[in-house]
């Protein structure tokens, strides 16, 4: 590692650029924090429909356990809704902590969360076409070829989710290709909450004998937990949503109890009431 008075590390996360710098001298004995876990990025729906964009410049305090202890807004994006979203987003980051001479240390970094509007319509169309074409290929393929195409479909689903599309827009766009019953079950939730896990539930129902169903189920649980954690963040910042959140919690609990109770990981048992 180079000896420099101030080290600047450029990190790319989704659509945001993050710059990290130590606020004291860094030498070869210092190992900087390494990001090991991040939540789904959310561009607030209110901000998108009102054409709000900007950069929130933040200072993160990362403790010896690798958790973000506190976040300070160094320079506002210009909009409270974006600043609050950025703070809530980075607070969920988890790091391998910084080290000095092999011992974990507290570390401060600067990060910029950049919210900018993109052409979601063309982006959605791209993924919708990919999914529809793959589904058609799977229908016509031999059993040997179907498994590879199904793997490819799961990759497209993940790419679609990670494309940073506003989650309300995502929910509405998947209506184009998921089974009607799979979608309608969540009809009261798709206009309020992130529901990325639906595509994997639909995959399992569409291809019950697929050799990659375990992968699909694991992805469904992974994104269900991320969606659920995001719902908590959204509702905790808006008292009007707390009552709707309670109804959503019950719907999730019923869904898992009825369809996935026997295969639900222990780490997600808290979702079943």
Q: Is 190 exposed, middle or buried (CB count within 10 Å of its CB: 0-12, 13-18, 19+)?
A: buried
- What is the per-residue pLDDT across 127-177, written as a single tens digit (0 to 9) for each? 999 999 999 999 999 988 999 999 999 999 999 998 767 788 889 899 999
CATH 3.30.2420.10 residue ranges in the chain? 8-115
Between the ranges 2-16, 49-63, 112-126, where is the mean pLDDT highest? 49-63
DSSP for 118-186, please give it: --HHHHHHHHHHHHHHHHHHHHHS-HHHHHHHHHHHHHHHHHHHTT---HHHHHHHGGGTS-HHHHHTT
Per-residue confidence band for 119, with pLDDT thresholds at 50, 70 and 90: low
Least confident of 5-14, 94-103, 191-200, 258-267: 5-14
Q: What is the pTM of this model?
A: 0.71
Exposure pattern of 43-74 as b/e (b: 16+ CB <10 Å)? bbbebbeeebebbbbbbbebbeebebeebeee
- What is the per-residue pLDDT across 61-101, written as a single tens digit (0 to 9) for each? 999 999 999 999 999 999 999 999 999 889 989 999 999 98
Question: Mean of the per-residue pLDDT values for the chain?
Answer: 85
Total residue count of the chain as it appears in this document: 273
d(CA 72, CA 56): 10
Share of the chain above pLDDT 70, in %: 87
Q: Residue 19 above 80 pLDDT?
A: no
Q: Residue 15 above 50 pLDDT?
A: no
Which residues contact residue 214 at a Cβ distance below 8 angstroms, ignoring those fewer than 6 apart?
Answer: none
8-115 has CATH 3.90.1150.10 classification:
no
Nearest one of 213, 252, 216 to 231, comparing CA atoms: 252
């Amino acid at each position: 590692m180079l000896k420099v008075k101030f080290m600047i590390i450029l990190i790319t996360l989704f659509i945001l650029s993050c710059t990290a710098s130590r606020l004291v001298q860094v030498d070869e004995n210092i190992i900087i924090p390494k990001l090991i876990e991040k939540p789904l990025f959310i561009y607030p729906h209110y901000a998108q429909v009102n054409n709000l964009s900007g950069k929130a410049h933040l200072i993160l305090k990362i403790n010896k356990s690798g958790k973000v202890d506190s976040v300070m807004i160094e320079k506002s994006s210009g909009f409270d809704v974006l600043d609050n979203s950025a703070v809530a987003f980075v607070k969920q980051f988890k790091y391998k902590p910084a080290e000095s001479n092999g011992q974990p240390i507290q570390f401060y970094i600067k990060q910029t969360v950049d919210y900018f509007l993109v052409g979601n319509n063309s982006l959605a169309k791209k993924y919708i076409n990919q999914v529809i074409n793959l589904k058609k290929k799977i229908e016509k393929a031999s059993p040997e070829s179907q498994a590879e195409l199904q793997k490819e479909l799961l990759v497209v689903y993940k790419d679609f989710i990670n494309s940073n599309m506003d989650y309300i827009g995502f929910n509405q766009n998947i209506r184009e290709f998921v089974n009607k019953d799979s979608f309608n079950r969540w009809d009261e939730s798709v206009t309020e909450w992130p529901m990325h896990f639906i595509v994997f539930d639909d995959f399992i129902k569409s291809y019950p004998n697929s050799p990659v169903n375990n992968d699909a189920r694991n992805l469904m649980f992974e994104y269900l937990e991320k969606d659920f954690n995001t719902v908590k963040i959204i509702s905790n910042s808006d008292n009007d949503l707390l009552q709707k959140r309670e109804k959503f919690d019950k719907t999730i609990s019923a869904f898992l109890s009825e369809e996935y109770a026997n295969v639900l990981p222990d780490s997600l048992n808290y979702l079943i009431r």
